[in-house]
Amino acid sequence: MGRITILGVLICLGSGNLLGLNGSGTQGDPWLIESLADFNAFAGDPNYWDGYTRLETDIDLTGQSYSAAVIG
């Protein structure tokens, strides 16, 4: 049972979403927004805003609302 738990944790850590956006925010390795969850993580964390970011997919924001402008 312990092996399954460890494997599950490693898979989750490798997904990038639990640790933040994929990338490092540099011009050569920008933050990657690959899903609505990534977009919401980006919108909710000002630490991402000073770096380079690349949108990797179309994101449907239908029904989403934000209390402040996400992109200024």
Residue holding tokens 């993580």? 41
Q: What is the pLDDT of residue 3?
A: 54
Interval 34-64: pLDDT, tens: 999 999 999 999 999 999 999 999 999 999 9
C-alpha span between 41 and 14 (Å, rounded): 17
What torsion, rounded to 10 degrees, do the Cα atoms 43, 27, 21, 9 define?
A: -170
Confidence band, pLDDT 50/70/90 cuts, at residue 13: very low
Which two tokens mark 61? Answer: 């924001």
Give the C-alpha separation, 44 to 36, whole Å. Answer: 12
Query: N- to C-terminal Cα distance for the chain?
Result: 48
The predicted structure's pLDDT at residue 67: 86
Higher pLDDT, 54 or 8: 54
